[in-house]
Amino acid sequence: MKKATLLFCTVLMTVSLSGCCIKHNWVEATCTEPKTCSRCGETEGDPLGHEWADATCTEAKTCSVCGATDGDPLGHDWTEATCTEPKKCSVCGLTDGEPLGHEFAEANYQQPSKCIRCDETQGEKLVASFEEHGLEINATLDRPISYKTCCYDNAKKETVGSVRFSDFQCFKGNDYLPEKDGYVWMSIFVTVDYTDENAWNYGFRTGRSFEDYYTIEKNDSSLVWHDSISDVPNDLKPFCQKMSKNGMEFINYSTFTVNHNGNDYSCEMIQATDAAQGWITKKHGYWGWHYYMCVPEGYDGRVLVFYHKHGENDWPSGKYIYDIADEDTIFFRMDPKLAQGGDL
């Protein structure tokens, strides 16, 4: 009996010294709990801690081990749809909806059909009238070019002069020519010198025309002439009245329409002659013109023409410059990029 009691006490002491368990039943540590005995609750070590995966557009920050979450999803960062791409998240690449598709404006003389949203083009620009009819610009600034035309008293006789285009300027406005939003003023001085025998004996006829490089027919139909200063708009009258003080004589004021980048613009032109024109010396006839034109900014379609006249009334009704132009015709294009002065 004494031996049994002694054995029991020995076992009881052993259990007391080793905790409540004769042998632990360990449960592995988790993100938030250390390694733990399922029998007695004894722990060992530390919790593993979460292994966080970053939040995404649709998922919160998430532990890759236990699935616990923290915070909210980021939410999509959408970029707007374009002509060729649908609405798209810049973070995850998810798309929503369809591309907008191109919206093409009609082609014009300066550019082909262009999408109003992304500027992509398709096709070709419209063919300019000068190109369609094979008319070529053949005059440049400050370089005399031979000019043949008929004599005044005898149309069967011809005289050969020299045309020069000079002092080409492009500017917004000045003290007399008002600045207009979206427009510029272009001015140029043109002279013709006649020095041969026929000009001296029979005089000369100068054929001049004002054309539009892009739309010859529309230009001709839109030209309206006014020969009196009283018909000039009030904002231009001071300039026209000032001409005589600057060695010029007012000829006329005209309006016309041009198409630039698909839009029609109302334009103006003032013509004046050089007061010094006439017979400078024996056998030297001189004629000079000053032109001032108000056109859309960037417009390069105004063309000054000197054509070979063959008599007083040699331009048949209903005909255009391409009907009467020949190898003697002179064309100068007023391209603002060629301007030598002014504030542009």
Per-residue model confidence as pLDDT tens digits over 213-257: 999 999 888 999 999 999 999 999 999 999 988 889 999 999 999
Report the distance separating Cα 100 and Cα 15, nearest Å: 79
Closest CA to 189 of 274, 276, 275, 277: 274
- Taking the C-alpha atoms of residue 305 and residue 132, their distance in angstroms, rounded to an integer, is 17
Q: Does residue 117 form part of some domain?
A: no
Residue 341: pLDDT band by 50, 70, 90 thresholds?
low
Task: Kindly indicate the confidence band of residue 136, based on its pLDDT and cuts at 50, 70 and 90.
Answer: very high
* Distance in angstroms between the alpha carbons of the first and the last residue of the chain: 126
The answer, yes or no, to whether residue 211 has pLDDT greater than 60, is yes
Residue 276 belongs to some domain of the structure: yes
Alpha-carbon distance of 127 to 119, in angstroms, equals 20
Q: What 3 state SS string does 75-115 have?
A: CCCEECCCCCCCEEECCCCCEECCCCCCCECCCCCCCCEEE
Q: What is the pLDDT of residue 2?
A: 52
Each residue's pLDDT tens digit, 90-109: 999 999 999 999 999 899 99
Looking at every residue in the chain, the average pLDDT score rounds to 90
Partners of residue 273 on adjacent β-strands: 249, 289
The span from the CA of 244 to the CA of 236, in Å, is: 14
- The verdict on residue 113 lying in a domain is no
Number of domains in the chain: 1
Its pTM stands at 0.76
Place of tokens 């939003």: 181
Label residue 260 by pLDDT band (50, 70, 90).
Answer: very high
Does residue 343 have a pLDDT over 50?
no
- Of 7-11, 98-102, 154-158, 306-310, the poorest mean pLDDT is in 7-11
Q: Is residue 34 part of a domain?
A: no
Do strands 95-96 and 87-89 pair parallel, antiparallel, or not at all (unpaired)?
Answer: antiparallel
Report d(CA 304, CA 331) in Å as an integer.
6
- As beta bridge partners, residue 166 has 189
User: Per the domain annotation, does 20 fall within a domain?
Assistant: no
- Say whether pLDDT at 15 is over 70: no
- Per-residue pLDDT band for 29 (boundaries 50, 70, 90) equals confident
Domain containing 193 equals: 129-338
Please check whether residue 150 lies inside any domain of the structure: yes
Adjacency order of strands within the sheet including 302-307: 207-212, 302-307, 330-333
Closest CA to 326 of 127, 193, 148: 148
Mean pLDDT of 293-315: 95
**Distance of alpha carbon 277 from alpha carbon 286, whole angstroms:** 5
Tell me phi and psi for residue 170, to 5 degrees. Answer: -135, 125
- Where does the pLDDT of residue 38 fall: very low under 50, low under 70, confident under 90, or very high at 90 and above? confident
Confirm whether 31 is domain-assigned.
Answer: no
Kindly report, residue by residue over 303-313, the tens digit of the pLDDT. 999 999 999 88
Identify the CA nearest to 184 among candidates 200, 203, 168. 168
CA nearest neighbour of 285 among 185, 218, 182, 201: 201
Alpha-carbon gap, residue 266 to 261, rounded angstroms: 14
Is 79 inside a domain boundary?
no
CB 147 within 8 A of CB 192: yes
What would the mean pLDDT of 303-326 be, rounded to a whole number? 94
